[in-house]
Structures are given as C-alpha cells and as structure tokens.
C-alpha cells in the first residue's frame, strides 16, 4: 500500500530502500542491516514497514540512538562498519539474540549501504546486497514456484492515452521487448531474405522438420549462421519436430471418397501399414477407411469423436468391433483424401513423444550442428520432457533448450508438471483447436501463458497470427489485435509460420509483427504486471529470484533507461525476464549459448564478454563498458539512470552462486536530452502543438479459468450481442431466419453499398421473420458519411475507355490530383507509359499533404508516400505492389479532414429510416459532440427523436473529442477499418482498448466492427487469430460485435453467426465479473446519481447473493442500462410496454426484452414478476434459483423511486 501510493518516480535512494525491503520479505530474510553515516537510508527502509527487524549500524552514536525513533529499527554501534561489511554480522547476531531474534548460520540477511563515493555523506547512491550467514556462496536455493490452485486467475492492465496513439515522436526510441520466431521456407531462406528478416526483427529462425531432409535444412542453417555472423547478431535457431501424428490411409485408385452425414463407417487401425492399406466406399455397401494409429480401438470409447482433415470431417464412435476395428457415424458431408491428419479430442494417445525420425533429427542434426532450441510436438507429460532431455544429453546436446508444444488435452492436464522440467512452452493453437472446442483456444492460451509466467518459463504463441499476410501486404484488424493481445497476455515471443515460409511478403510480415509488438508494449501497465506476477509467486523465493524481482520493481519506481545484469548460467537472465521490466535489460555474459537463449525471453538484450568478470576491481570497468554498449545500441539514452545487478564472483554454474550480490543505481554518461526520453517524457513539442492530452485511460481485464472449462462446452446464456450486416447472401427469408436462430440480435443495413429502395423490402422481411419466430430483432441503418474516394479508371486521357483496374508497382511514381465534385471535369484517372494519375474527391488535397505524408487507398491495402507537393497536386511513391480498382477509399494518415457530418444523400437516407421506423442509426465520421447534436436535430425534425444514435469512432478528431462524443451518443462503434487509416494501424487495438473502457465507465454501449471473422467470407471456420480477437474484445468489455462481409457477401452467413455466438459465450464464462464490477465502480465519478448507485448495488447484490436473473420493470430502460454498465453476470430481463425499448435491448449487454401490454399497478406487481420469470424460463435464459427484481416504490416502473428485492424460488411460487 505504501509503495503503490507513493508518487512516482521516486529518488534513487528510495527505490533501492523499497527494493531491499521487498527482497527481504520475498526471500524470508531474518534481518535488514543498514550501514549508514547519516540515518537517511534507515528512515527510507522504515517507511516501508518491513516485517523483520532492521539493524541500523553506524560508527556515530547519535545515528545509532536516533534509529530508536524509527519503526522496527535497532541501533548498533561499530567502528568497522564502513569498511568491512561482513564483519558487522557477529555484532548484529549478538544484538538480535538479546532481543530474542536469533540469526543462525544459513539464515539470509539483506544489507543496505552506500557505494564508495568522494563524500561519505552522499547517500543518494545506495547499494543493497544479500548474504547468507555462514555460507561463503551467498545463496539459498528454493524450488521454483508454479501457479498454485486449479483455477487460474488472470489479470492484465493497460494504460493508453492520446499521446500513446498520436504522438509518434514520443515513442521513437522505445525498444521492442517481445521476440519474433520466423519459420524458414522457400520464400525466405536465401541469404538476402534472411538478412532482410533479421533487419526487420527476427530473433529466432525455426526449421520445421515436418518437411525436408537433413541436407536441405543444413544448407538453410549454414546460410542463416553466415548472415548472422556478418551482422554481429545473436539470433538463435530452433528445430521443430514432426512428432507423433496420426494419418488416414490410402484410398482405392487414389481417388477421394465422399463421406455423407449420417452414414455408417468402419475405421480400421492399420498402424504402420497405412501407406499400403486402401480404404473404399462401395455403392450401397460398406465404407471403410484406415488410420495409422495402431492402438486406436484400445484408446477410444463410444461417444468419442474422430476428427479428420484439419477437423473438417467428424466421426462419432458408436461401437468397438475388435482390436483393430470400430464402427462410427459420419457427422457431416465432406470428401476425404489420402494421408489426411487425424485428431482424437479428449483421448490419451499412446504414442511416444519422439518417433524414430524425431530421435534421428535431434541426435544427428540438432545436437550435431549445435542448435539452440528444440520444439517438441505433442508433449503430454513430464516423462515426455525428461525423455527428450535424455535423448539430447546422450548426443551432446546439454545446452539445447526444450520447448514443449502444448496441443492436446493431456498436455493441458499435466501442464504444471511439464513446467517443472521444460525450459519453455509453445501455445500450438492449430492442433490445440482440434483437441479442445475451438472457441476455447483463447482461454487455453491465457491459462498456459499465465501459469508459465508465474513459473518463470518463456512462452511462445504460434499459429495463424498474421495468416492473411501469406497473400496480402497488410494484416487484418483482427490479426493485429490478436498479436497485441498475446503481448498483453504475457507471451515472450510470437511466431510466424506460413507468413515467412511461403508468404508473398516475408520481410514485411516480420516488420509488421515487430511494430504491433512494440505498440502493444507501450500500452502495457507494467506496475500491474509486476504486481500480479509477484503476488501470485509462492513465497519465500530463493535468493536469486528475490534479488532479481527488485530490478523490475525499481524500473517501475524510477523509470530508468536500462537494467544491466551479469549472468553466466542463465538463471538471473530468466528471472529478470519473468518479472517483465518496463525497460530493456542488457544481459552481460561470456556464454554464447546464453546470448542466443535470451533471444526468446521477454525484454532481454545481450552483450558478449571474452570471459566472466571474476573480481571487483574489474567489475567497475565492466559495468561502464556495458552502459556504453547499451547507449550505442539504442537501449538507453544519455543521462538516464541505469539499474545494475552483479556478483562479486560470477561463475558459469546453473545457480550462479556468488559470495555477494549487489544492486545499485547509476547513470548513463552524457547530458540528458529530453527529446529522447520517449515514454518518460511528460509532453513532447509535437504533443503541445497538436494539443494532445497525456492523461491515461486505465483498463483491467481479468478471467478465471480451470481445466473443466477448457474441455467442456460452456452453455451460459450469451450476454454480448451480435450485429449481422444484410447483403446479397443474407437477404432471403430462409437465411434471415437461420441467422436469427443462430443468434442475430440486430440487422444492419450499410447505406454505403445499398440504396434505401433496396433495403425497404428487406426491412419488412426481417420484421416478418421475427414476428413469425416470436423474436425481437432490431434494425440499424449505417450512414454512408463524408468519404474521400478515388476516381473512375480509364485507359488514358485521350480515349477514356473504362478499365476494371490499374497495376501499381512498389517504387513507382504516381500523381495524386484533387477533384471538385462541382467541377465539370471528368472524375477520371489512368496509368499509361507516360504517367499514372489518380484523382480523389478532395478539393484541397495540396493543402492536406506534405512530403512523407502517408496516403492509404482501398482500406489501407495500398500505401503511398508523398514525395513532393506541386500546388494542388502531389507526387507520391507506391510502397507495395497492388491492383487499384475504381472508387476505392482514400485516407490520409494523421490528417484531420474538414468534412461535413451529413451529405445530401445521408439526409435522404435518414428521412427514409425515420419513415421505416428503424431502431438505431450509426453516424459515420463523427468528429465532435456538435456533429452528433446536429444529427439529433435533423432526426428530430424528421420525427426520429427516439432513435438510438451511434457514433462511429474512425478519425483522429473523434479520439480527441471522445469524452464529449460519449456524452451525446447513445453508444459508439469502433470502426477499426477507417480508424487504422488515420492512426498507424498497429495502434488500432490500443485505441479500441481506450474507447471500450471510456464507454464502459460512461455506461454507453460499445460495438466492435471490422474484420472480426473475416476469413469466414470464404471459409466455414475462422482463423485462431480471429477467434482470439473476438474473445479478447468480450473480456475488454464490448457490448456487441458486428459481422460485415461475413454475412453480407460471405459464403457462410448463418455459420458466421453461430461461430460468433459460441466464441462470445465461452469468453463470458471465463470473465471475472467481481473484478470487472469493482473496477467500473472504483473509476466511476463520485458521487453517483441515485439511479446509478442503486444499479451498482443491484449488480453487486447479484454477485454476492448469486441470483440467476435480474428483472427490471421499466418504461425507458435507463435502469437496465445502468445495471448493464456494472457488468451483471446474469441476464437482465427488461419488462416494458414500449416496442422501441424492447428492440434496443438487443444491442445492450446482458439485456433481454419482455414486451407486455401494460405494467399495471403496485398490487399487480407479483403477478407481473411471475409472468416475467416464466417467460425467462421459456426463453431458456433462466433455469431456477433466486431472482433480483428492480421496480418502483409505489408503481412498477423502476424509474420512479427504484426499489430492489431478491425473490427466492419459494417467493416466486407463493
């Protein structure tokens, strides 16, 4: 408490003193010994109320006497105290014994003293050290802790402000701490491309031994090491084993067979003979296939599922026919080919973790060629890891670090014991999504990462992170958010697979990944991260961990430029990475293997020594050299503090035993330049010029996850709502009905691509289907808004024959020209041998851009950089190869355009929307509160004053004016597509985080839009990145998620809705609602209104009393909205007579409508409540238990003198 409420940054002396107290408490020290000439350091120690006695040792009697006035301190007088630190221990032991606190041999103590200075009274530069009484090695080793308990509580917090999003200068010197693993493949294994990957940010090269032979891999490894040596890099190499896999057998004639839903099938366990066995399907007869798993029939039982071909075919086991055969039923129709992969969810597969091929790969390649890491596939137990260790050690691979890939249920069940012996883990999201319900992968990722963080094991997140970049120059918004959330979760490294191995833009993929990671790290609340890891680490910890954890603490307290540690065996490096320092950590070592092992650990950079530092006389110079190295490498700016940890005897043992460890704070040589302080600089000149506020929005995300939650399908009532965009593929009566059945809450009509005449009949159809199904489905109209677009394309200025597209090449020069919509000149552009000319409908283009301005076309898929401005026109260079089609969006990065909120067409659309009595309108390109006031006035004049007004946040101006916009809007939509063309795309997720938190505190609903399940436009299943993106949005606090092209033009509209619904339900099941409620209540401005106070109490009472339904009787939904603000974990049934109120519950978190003819009076309230509860039971949103009822004191309406009651089941019966 004292530490948290002390203003930061603190002085260096106070940072050392508080770190010493923390270290003493974490390691269970018997005493803190303060060596001082002034007593100041003793006062700083006493401030933090250590639980053990503090002995203040001084040669000055007055200092020893004065210590008696300080909390927990005792004065010890000694003449030798300043020169011989360890000689004071006998004096302290004698004094402690007198007090009844005996200090024995083997007990740990913490010393605080000054470093040798010119002036003895200079106590600003303190040093603290640890020692073990009677132990010359100076350490006590404790078993490394793991996460205790079956339920894994996860906390992560972010701090985001406008300066975080908009001030590019402020963060130019921030170094990326999350590492990047790149898979080698044909598109990136040339020397030139390897060099490009290293320059872009690759830390580890992954060789996938599921493909290729030793000779081919050796050539890649040799090229990699050659390029690494030329660049002076410490990049590491990783071998990923093929592992024990199950494949389908051959088929007759090598032709695929069609498996049909409902048909019977015989599956035969043919073992190693799968390459010779031939399956078949006989017309009107038997269907038989083979699997390579010989013990199939001994492992599965009736009811188990067999998944084939990446999970696209499901077979349910019905009967075990014998030792080699079973009968199953096909669950879906799909063609099956040969050698397709197979997964057995929930089944312990009895196959060795290493096949004969894997053992050969490890011993005759990995060990032989001294690789750094091995990633072992399908690790299921501690014994698997020990077996891998034995195989490696026998072949001379003792320094090879083992990464256990967690990709099935057994690996999750035995995860804690695997952590005891593995060096690191990989979240293999691909196969893991086959072994557990795919929508649970996000929760499994958090479970694995959190427990690995507490255990101090590095963790890599893999599979489909930037999948779209295999073909596209830029990733989707969902993919960028997925990577960012992995950083927020606490991963040490992220991995690229096909993006670098086979992708069209390998170097761009790495560069994009690096920028996203760096941007995410800027938003991390490192105070909270350190606090979480320390609190959940079991105490006491060993000497090394106790000492090292103080480095991260001190970095939070004083915001130094860098941390420097000396390490040879690797434990210090691993521990300092565990505690997630907010600044770079320079690991100084002579161990080249350790330098490469640091390449997968968060925040670590390395400096090589010729040999370990073995004496104090050499340590001073070594520290100075390290600081200069860090300064030259851009890790630390001149004049900033540097936190140093070193030993007086650095050895190359596994425990790094030392006679004494010291931590102190010094400075980087040179004069401090404020412009280079980055995150430590309160306000840059750029911020002042642009009026950027540096205030931060804190957010908190918390989950509670256990293993049963990961393995079983969660069926809580879904509270997060789904908007589905209606388009050509979802406008039929049948498809609208299917989407409603799967969970569509709101039907959205995008006026940018549809006319009002087109939507009229579809709106009527939606209402007809809803009425027939006795459902409520709200209608939302999304305005086109003021958009800047490119022109119609023609073949040239003379002939002007229309063309479908023009080709743009990287490095090509293009002319951007303005076009005034009122001008008679044709709105045409072209690409000829002479010039490429593109017109945009922005008359003042020349005034809006300048050299180096980024112009984004076609939703950011085409990037141009302005090189010159000539009057009203601009010359720009194309940054990536692309095809430009007519009338594509044009955005100018970082520029606020002066455009009206409504154009002529928007007004006509709004007028028609009022006529159609739609429920809500989303206003595009809102830039201020006054914009919304104007739209409200227009709606009111048309008769639409009751419509909900949603502000789409998609510009810089909207971010700056967000607080005012939230005051006026009913809710906001995070329009990630356009927002990522006004701010740097890799910061969109930070903006998303800030917008969501602010909206939650204001009690306004927030909608997440753009690229949520984008891959489902063409595929029946989303990528892992998309599912993780949606799940994390729920945990962040969005009320509603939106499907756009997925339902409008996609091939699987209904499946998109059902998939979204499953992801939402499972994410909600893991949400830590008490923490969410406390956070929102704590940061809500006080005093609250009466309504808000009661709403908060209702939500809290529900959490405390565990009622299973909240019934709110209302005419306006105001009270229901306030209860939803405080994140109720149960459904809120809104009982109302107003159809508009009922419809608008479909966009609000946790709300469900119950439309009644009249509310009645106070005496009829019990009957109304029972009707409401019966309705909730019929709708399957209530399954029994207590019910919280909110109503008026003298009439049912809760808006008038609200009253809260909790009704038991017996009350409902009576």
**Does the active-site annotation cover 463?**
yes
The tokens for 684 are 């840059």
Find how far residue 122's CA is from the centre of its chain: 45
Q: How far apart are CA 115 and CA 127, in angstroms?
A: 6
Distance CA 543, CA 1058 (A): 52
Q: How many CB atoms lie within 10 A of CB 1162?
A: 12
Look at residues 956, 973, 1048 and name the one whose alpha carbon lies nearest to residue 1008: 973
Instruction: Characterize the bridge pairing of strands 493-496 and 458-462.
Output: parallel
Q: What angle do CA 725, 730, 735 make, to 5 degrees?
A: 125
Q: What does each C-alpha distance from 275 to 249, 253, 315, 974 come to in angstroms? A: 6, 13, 21, 52
Q: What's the number of CA atoms in the CB half-sphere (13 Å) around residue 1101?
A: 19
The helix (H) or strand (E) run that includes residue 1140 is helix 1139-1144
Which candidate in 405, 515, 837, 948 is catalytic? 405
Q: How many CB atoms lie within 10 A of CB 667?
A: 17
Residue pair 257/287 in contact (Cβ under 8 Å)? The answer is yes
Q: How many CA atoms lie within 13 A of 353 on its CB side?
A: 29
Is the distance from CB of 1106 to CB of 1186 less than 8 angstroms? yes
CB 954 within 8 A of CB 922: no
- Provide the 10 A C-beta neighbour count for residue 145: 17
Out of 206, 223, 574, 837, which one is annotated catalytic?
206
Question: How would you class 368 by CB atoms within 10 Å of its CB: exposed for 0-12, middle for 13-18, buried for 19 or more?
Answer: middle
Report the C-alpha gap between 616 and 132 in whole angstroms.
19
Question: Among this protein's residues, is 206 annotated catalytic?
Answer: yes
Cβ 924 vs Cβ 931: under 8 Å? no
51-55 long-range contacts, CB within 8 A, separation 24+: 51/25, 52/24, 52/25, 53/96, 53/99, 53/101, 55/31, 55/92, 55/95, 55/96
| 3-state class (DSSP) for residue 460 | strand
Tell me the CA distances in angstroms from 797 to 794, 805, 884, 887, 1062, one per residue in order. Answer: 8, 15, 17, 18, 53
**From 73, 158, 305, 463, the catalytic residue:** 463
Distance CA 578, CA 603 (A): 9
Note whether 1181 and 1131 are within 8 A (CB).
yes
How many CA within 13 A on the CB side of residue 890? Answer: 25
Tokens of residue 563, six digits: 């941390």
Q: Which of 65, 125, 242, 247 is catalytic?
A: 247
> DSSP assignment of 848-909, as one string?
H--TT-EEEETTTTEEEEEEEEETTEEEEEE-S-EEE-TT-BEEETT------S--HHHHHH
* CA–CA dist 956, 952 (Å, integer): 12
Percentages helix, strand, coil for the chain (3-state, rounded to 5) are 40, 25, 40
Which 3 state secondary structure label does DSSP give 1068? helix
Tokens of residue 391, six digits = 């195989």
**Is the Cβ–Cβ distance between 373 and 239 less than 8 Å?**
yes
401 carries an active-site annotation: no
DSSP class of residue 987?
A: G
> Which residues, including other chains, have CB under 8 Å from residue 275's CB and lie 6 or more apart?
249, 250
As annotated, the active-site residues are 206, 247, 405, 463
């Amino acid at each position: 408490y004292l530490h948290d409420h002390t203003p930061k940054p603190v002085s260096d002396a106070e940072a050392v003193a508080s770190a010493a107290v923390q270290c003493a408490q974490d390691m269970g020290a018997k005493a803190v010994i303060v060596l001082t000439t002034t007593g100041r350091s003793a006062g700083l120690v006493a401030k933090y109320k250590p639980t053990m006695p503090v002995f203040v040792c001084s040669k000055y009697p007055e200092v020893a006497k004065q210590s008696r006035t300080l909390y927990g301190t005792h004065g010890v007088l000694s003449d030798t105290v300043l020169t011989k630190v360890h000689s004071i221990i006998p004096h302290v032991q004698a004094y402690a014994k007198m007090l009844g606190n005996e200090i024995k041999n083997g007990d740990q103590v913490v010393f605080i003293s000054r470093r040798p200075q010119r002036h003895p009274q200079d106590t600003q530069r303190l040093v603290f050290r640890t020692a073990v009484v009677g132990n010359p090695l100076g350490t006590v080793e404790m078993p490394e802790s793991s996460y205790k308990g079956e339920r894994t509580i996860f906390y992560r917090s972010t701090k985001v402000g406008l300066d975080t999003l908009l001030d590019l200068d402020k963060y130019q010197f921030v170094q990326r701490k999350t590492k990047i693993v790149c898979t080698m493949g044909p598109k990136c294994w040339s020397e030139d491309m390897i060099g490009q990957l290293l320059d872009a940010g690759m830390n580890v090269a992954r060789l996938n031994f599921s493909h290729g032979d030793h000779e081919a891999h050796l050539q890649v490894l040799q090229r990699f090491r050659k390029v690494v040596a030329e660049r002076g890099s410490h990049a590491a190499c990783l071998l990923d084993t093929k592992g024990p896999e199950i494949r389908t057998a051959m088929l007759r004639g090598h032709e695929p067979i069609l498996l049909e839903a409902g048909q019977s099938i015989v599956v035969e366990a043919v073992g190693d003979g799968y390459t010779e066995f031939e399956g078949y399907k006989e017309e009107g007869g038997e269907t038989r296939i083979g699997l390579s798993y010989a013990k199939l029939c001994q492992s599965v039982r009736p009811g188990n599922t067999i998944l084939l071909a990446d999970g696209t075919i499901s077979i349910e086991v019905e009967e075990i026919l014998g030792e080699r055969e079973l009968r199953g039923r096909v669950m879906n129709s799909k063609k099956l080919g040969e050698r397709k992969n197979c997964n057995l969810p929930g089944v312990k597969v009895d196959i060795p973790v290493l096949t004969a091929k894997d053992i050969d790969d490890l011993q005759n390649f990995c060990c032989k060629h001294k690789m750094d890491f091995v990633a072992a596939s399908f690790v299921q137990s501690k014994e698997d890891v020990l077996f891998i260790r034995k195989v490696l050690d026998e072949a001379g691979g003792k320094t090879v670090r083992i990464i256990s890939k967690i990709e099935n249920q057994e690996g999750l069940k035995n995860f804690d014991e695997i952590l005891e012996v593995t060096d690191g883990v990989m979240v293999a999201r691909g196969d893991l999504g086959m072994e557990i319900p795919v929508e649970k992968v996000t929760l499994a990722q958090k479970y694995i990462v959190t427990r690995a963080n507490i255990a101090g094991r590095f963790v890599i997140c893999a599979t489909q992170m930037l999948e779209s970049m295999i073909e596209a120059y830029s990733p989707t918004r969902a993919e960028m958010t997925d990577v960012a959330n992995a950083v927020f979760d606490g991963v040490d490294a992220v991995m690229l697979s096909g993006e670098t191995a086979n992708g069209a833009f390998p170097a761009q993929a790495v560069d994009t990944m690096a920028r996203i990671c760096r941007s995410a790290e800027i938003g991390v609340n490192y105070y909270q991260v350190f606090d979480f890891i320390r609190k959940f680490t079991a105490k006491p910890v060993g000497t090394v961990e106790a000492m090292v954890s103080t480095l991260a603490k001190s970095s939070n307290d004083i915001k130094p430029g860098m941390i420097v540690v000396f390490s040879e065996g690797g434990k210090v490096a691993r521990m300092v990475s565990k505690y997630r320092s907010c600044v770079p950590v320079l690991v100084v070592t002579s161990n080249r293997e350790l330098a490469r092992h640091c390449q997968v650990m968060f925040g670590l950079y390395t400096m090589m020594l010729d040999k370990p530092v073995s004496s104090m006389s050499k340590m001073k110079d070594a520290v100075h050299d390290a600081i200069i190295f860090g300064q030259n490498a851009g890790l630390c700016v001149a004049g900033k503090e540097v936190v140093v940890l070193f030993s007086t005897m650095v050895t190359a043992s596994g425990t790094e035993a030392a006679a004494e460890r010291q931590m102190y704070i010094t400075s980087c040589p040179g004069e401090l330049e404020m412009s280079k302080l980055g995150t430590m600089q309160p306000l840059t000149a750029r911020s002042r010029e642009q009026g950027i506020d540096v205030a931060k929005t804190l957010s908190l995300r918390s989950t509670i996850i256990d293993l049963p939650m990961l393995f079983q399908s969660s069926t809580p009532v879904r509270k997060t709502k789904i908007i589905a965009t209606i388009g050509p593929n979802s406008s039929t009566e049948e498809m609208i009905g299917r989407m409603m059945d799967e969970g569509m809450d709101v039907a959205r009509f995008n006026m940018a691509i549809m006319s009002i005449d087109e939507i009229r009949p579809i709106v009527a159809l939606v209402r007809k289907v809803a009425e027939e199904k006795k459902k409520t489905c709200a209608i939302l109209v999304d305005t086109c808004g003021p958009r800047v677009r490119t022109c119609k394309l023609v073949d040239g200025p003379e002939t002007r024959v229309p063309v479908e597209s023009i080709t743009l090449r990287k490095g090509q020069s293009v002319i951007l020209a303005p076009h005034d919509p009122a001008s008679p000149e044709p709105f045409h552009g072209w690409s000829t041998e002479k010039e490429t000319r593109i017109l945009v409908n922005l008359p003042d283009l020349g005034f809006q851009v300048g050299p180096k301005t980024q112009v984004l076309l076609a939703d950011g898929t085409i990037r141009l950089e302005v090189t010159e401005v000539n009057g009203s026109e601009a010359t720009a260079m194309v940054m990536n190869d692309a095809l430009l089609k007519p009338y594509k969006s044009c955005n100018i990065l970082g520029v606020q355009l002066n455009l009206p909120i409504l154009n002529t067409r928007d007004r006509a659309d709004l007028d028609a929307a009022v006529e159609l009595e739609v429920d809500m309108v989303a206003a595009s390109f809102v830039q201020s509160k006054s914009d919304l006031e104007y739209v409200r006035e227009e709606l009111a004049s048309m008769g639409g004053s009751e419509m909900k007004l949603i502000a789409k946040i998609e510009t810089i101006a909207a971010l700056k004016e967000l607080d005012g916009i939230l005051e006026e809007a009913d809710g906001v939509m995070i329009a990630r597509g356009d927002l990522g063309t006004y701010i740097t795309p890799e910061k969109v997720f930070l903006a998303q985080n800030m917008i969501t938190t602010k909206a939650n505190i204001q009690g306004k609903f927030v909608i997440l839009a753009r690229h949520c399940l984008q891959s489902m436009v063409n595929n029946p299943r989303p990528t892992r990145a998309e599912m993780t993106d949606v799940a994390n949005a729920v945990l962040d606090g969005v009320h509603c998620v939106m499907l756009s092209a997925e339902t409008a033009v996609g091939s699987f509209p209904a499946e998109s809705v059902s998939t979204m619904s499953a992801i939402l339900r499972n994410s909600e099941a893991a949400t830590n609602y008490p923490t969410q409620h406390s956070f929102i209540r704590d940061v809500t401005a006080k005093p609250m209104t009466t309504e808000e106070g009661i709403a908060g109490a209702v939500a809290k009472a529900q959490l405390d009393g565990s009622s299973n339904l909240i019934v709110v009787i209302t005419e306006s939904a105001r009270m229901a909205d306030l209860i939803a603000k405080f994140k109720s974990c149960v459904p809120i049934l809104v009982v109302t007579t107003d159809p508009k109120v009922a419809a608008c519950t479909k966009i609000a978190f946790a709300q469900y409508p119950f439309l009644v003819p009249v509310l009645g009076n106070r005496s009829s309230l019990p009957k109304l409540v029972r009707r409401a509860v019966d309705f909730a039971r019929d709708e399957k949103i209530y399954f029994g238990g207590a019910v919280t009822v909110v109503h008026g004191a003298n009439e049912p309406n809760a808006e008038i003198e609200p009253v809260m009651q909790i009704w038991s089941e017996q009350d409902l019966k009576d």
